[in-house]
Structure 1
Amino acid sequence: MADWATLQTDIVGIIIKKLAIPDYIRFRAVCTSWNHVCKDVSYSPRVDPWLMLPQNPNPPGAQFFCIPERKNQNIRLPSTASFFGSVWAPVGSLNGWLIYFSQTYGTMQLVNPISGSQIQLPPIGRRTFAKAKLLEMNERNFIVVVLYGDEKVELWAEPPRAWPDEEVTHQWRFRCLVETPAGDLIRVKRQSQNKFAVCTLDKGTFSWVETDNIGDLALFVSHYSSFCFPAKDHPNLKANCIYFIDIHNNLCAFNLEHSTKELVETLEIGPVRNDHYYRRPQRDQLLWFIPSPK
């Protein structure tokens, strides 16, 4: 192992860039020198979309399905006992971070399951809400948006570390809006159980234009988290498709050009908790997530 540990940094860096996140986690655990190179921000592993599966206590931790790997990955979360002992549930994600909510205490935590980092948020003052969104996430600045069922919106920003006292009332009906890497807006509407319509925003006329071609992008939609992702150079990802969960808990891809549904994977979902928080379809307990080691 001594010879492997003394590999030149640039060679180790090239290897890291070709690794998927699960292999990256194993790679950095091999020896101290490799772990040190992994901490260099210029050496990042290949990033693929993961689907977070409903939580169950056996095995402990969080379960993710990785499309390129075509198998489940189990990641032990930091302070696992405190999460599952107080009924923490994932309700959103962005840039490698998950939003966890405890209905018991009305509080939220931000968790990076790959790096192990945690950020505790103050109580939001309510026990129920429709959705939570994480915006502009980095090490020092982030915004959490909480959407309530009574058309109220609350923002929490770092800094400062407090929920604003005022509430913002909106008159819009929230739809699934996704931003492309180029900064364009895409609106996704589910027309039926297995069919979607996609519109892009015309910046000149500020109108929505329906399209059946989003180029090299793939869309990933779920109840709590939706985003687009470039399919190029990612094995088993198909461009111009929408990845979603059907009523049978199957992972499927909807081809926009041909308006057809394709089965990607029959998900292996174990028994899940049956408490008052999870009174919603099981497919709504799944959310898309892009892991980040930083």
Structure 2
Amino acid sequence: MESGVQSNISDWTRLPEDLLVAVFGELEIPDLLRSAAVCTSWRSAYRIFRRLRLPSPKHSPCLLYSSEACGPDAAMLYCPSTGATFHIPMREPGLRLRSLSPIGSGHGWLVVADEISNLHLINPLTGCHAALPPITTFPSVEGSLDDQGNLIYTFSGKSHEPYRLPAVESRDMYERAVLSCSPSAGSACIVLLMHEPFGELSFARVGDQRWTQIPADDSTGIQPSDAVYSTADGLFYVVRSDGSMHTLDLNGPNPVTTTIMPEAAMNSEWADKYVYVVQTPWGDLLQAWRFRDYSEHADDSNYIDPPVELNMTELQLYKVDVHGQMLVKVDSVGDHALFLGYNSSMCLPINDFPGLKPDCAYVTDDSYDYVNLCKFFKRDIGMWSIAKQTMHSLASTSPPRDPWLNWPAPIWIVPSLL
């Protein structure tokens, strides 16, 4: 009897390889990654699945962060849709999350600056990596060694006196980066970079040897705030902190910039807000104005920086009416959720991800001055209710003073194996 029972037990390691590959296409990313560790035959099927570049289900944005628990060579992903947290190794030799400064994410990839301020593209799930042109290929940057043999950069320009910075501090010049598509597409992927010293725009394709700076004029030379790439027309849409918007066409031999929206006139508190541009599933462009303010907190020996915090105080939404040349106030995104931060801004239907809350903005800290200067401070991270204009903590995450809220700044990423 006992032997008969044993004979009826299914041996999951003997499932046909083609059936396993088909099943893997239906799994969520965490389950898919774990499947490769089941046994030799499952690992083989997983490799075939990866080699065939088969799609997997839509994945909710996850918060990528570091913590003391995962060590210097790994990262953690927290999914607000499912409440799951899982551990991922950082496989690229020499690139540890703790030493990197994320300035953008899109299509499952990160844009990060290393300790000598060079930029890289990394897929944290697959370990794939692509180097971007070095910082010294910007027209105004030169590298040299100081008297102690330390690498420094000299920044020069027509409108300011040359100044020098240590290599690791020079990455503070990067404000954010936006991708046109997955870097796995090679040279079809364009990285649009917003950077200092005076709010320039530069770009590079995967495989380029140098950064190409976009000539500054009234459209592009005054503090670009955010950008989004449209697959519908192949253009970048760039928004500035004054609410004005411009399209950027990088498909020809020379960049072409077109103004599509003048400066907004309904709010004068420019210094206290950050402006995002968001594409909606129904075809509109939105501007999201995130207001923040500094507040004092009680002295605490666990903090290294001065006793101030930067906290979100308000979120205003506007529909971009290009034909009417105006911004139209929006009070809700209905059964959708926004994701705002260093990531490419997103508006997602919660029907695709039932665990997400409707009419909310999931936000991370992306004030690059505050993030870089106050590396060991509490980060402004949470779920913002658009209706109530209040912040709520993310469920199932660490308390706000745990290390993952400090450095590097946590960032939203949509997991992808492509």
How would you bin the TM-score normalised by the shorter chain?
0.7 to 0.9
Q: Which amino acid aligns with 1:230?
A: P
1:41 Cα offset (Å): 4.2
Determine the structure 1 residue equivalent to 2:190. Answer: 143
Is 2:340 the partner of 1:218? no
Q: Which amino acid aligns with 2:106?
A: L
Where 2:393 maps in the other structure, the secondary structure is: strand
Is 2:16 the partner of 1:16? no
Specify which of 192, 197, 219 is matched with residue 316 of structure 2. Answer: 197
Determine the structure 2 residue equivalent to 1:263. Answer: 393
Aligned residues of 2:363 and 2:381 also touching (Cα < 8 A): yes
Where 1:233 maps in the other structure, the secondary structure is: coil
Determine the structure 2 residue equivalent to 1:185. Answer: 285
CA 1:75–1:196 in 2, change beyond 3 Å: closer, same or farther?
same
Rg larger in structure: 2
Specify which of 85, 90, 95 is matched with residue 72 of structure 1. Answer: 85
Aligned residues of 1:16 and 1:38 also touching (Cα < 8 A): no
Aligned residues of 1:184 and 1:200 also touching (Cα < 8 A): yes
Q: Which amino acid aligns with 2:129?
A: Q
Matches within 5 A, 1:34-53: 34-37=46-49, 39-53=51-65
1:14 Cα offset (Å): 4.9
Specify which of 15, 19, 25 is matched with residue 6 of structure 1. Answer: 15
Q: 1:151-201, CA deviations, whole angstroms, 9 ceiling, x for partnerless residues? A: 222111236442126653512552211222344211111234242111111
**Partner Cα separation in structure 2 for residue 24 and residue 87 of structure 1:** 28
Note the residue ranges of structure 2 that are not aligned, 5 or more in a row. Answer: 1-9, 142-169, 226-274, 293-311, 366-376
Aligned residues of 2:279 and 2:346 also touching (Cα < 8 A): yes
**Partner Cα separation in structure 1 for residue 199 and residue 281 of structure 2:** 29
CA 1:54–1:68 in 2, change beyond 3 Å: closer, same or farther?
same
RMSD of aligned residue pairs (Cα, Å): 3.2
Where 1:265 maps in the other structure, the secondary structure is: coil
Matches within 5 A, 1:1-294: 4-7=13-16, 9=18, 13-14=22-23, 16-17=25-26, 19-30=27-38, 31=42, 32-37=44-49, 39-54=51-66, 58-59=70-71, 60-80=73-93, 82-84=94-96, 87-102=99-114, 104-125=115-136, 127-128=170-171, 129-138=173-182, 139-140=185-186, 141-149=188-196, 150-158=198-206, 160-164=208-212, 167-168=215-216, 170-171=221-222, 174=225, 175-192=275-292, 193-223=312-342, 225-245=344-364, 249=379, 251-265=381-395, 267-268=397-398, 270-271=402-403, 282=406, 285-294=409-418
Aligned residues of 1:52 and 1:64 also touching (Cα < 8 A): yes
Aligned residues of 2:342 and 2:412 also touching (Cα < 8 A): no
1:236 Cα offset (Å): 1.5
Aligned residues of 2:118 and 2:133 also touching (Cα < 8 A): yes
Determine the structure 2 residue equivalent to 1:275. Answer: none
**Partner Cα separation in structure 1 for residue 47 and residue 11 of structure 2:** 14
Q: How many aligned residue pairs are there?
A: 283
Determine which structure has greater relative contact order: mean sequence separation of CA pairs < 8 Å that are 6+ residues apart, divided by chain length. Answer: 1
Q: Which amino acid aligns with 1:25?
A: L
CA 1:212–1:118 in 2, change beyond 3 Å: closer, same or farther?
same
Where 2:290 maps in the other structure, the secondary structure is: strand
Aligned residues of 1:250 and 1:267 also touching (Cα < 8 A): no
Where 2:394 maps in the other structure, the secondary structure is: strand
Where 2:281 maps in the other structure, the secondary structure is: coil
**Partner Cα separation in structure 1 for residue 214 and residue 386 of structure 2:** 41
CA 1:16–1:86 in 2, change beyond 3 Å: closer, same or farther?
closer
Q: TM-score under structure 2 normalisation?
A: 0.59
CA 1:271–1:264 in 2, change beyond 3 Å: closer, same or farther?
closer
Note the residue ranges of structure 1 that are not aligned, 5 or more in a row. Answer: 273-280
Q: TM-score under structure 1 normalisation?
A: 0.81
1:290 Cα offset (Å): 0.8
Aligned residues of 1:91 and 1:100 also touching (Cα < 8 A): yes
Aligned residues of 1:96 and 1:292 also touching (Cα < 8 A): yes
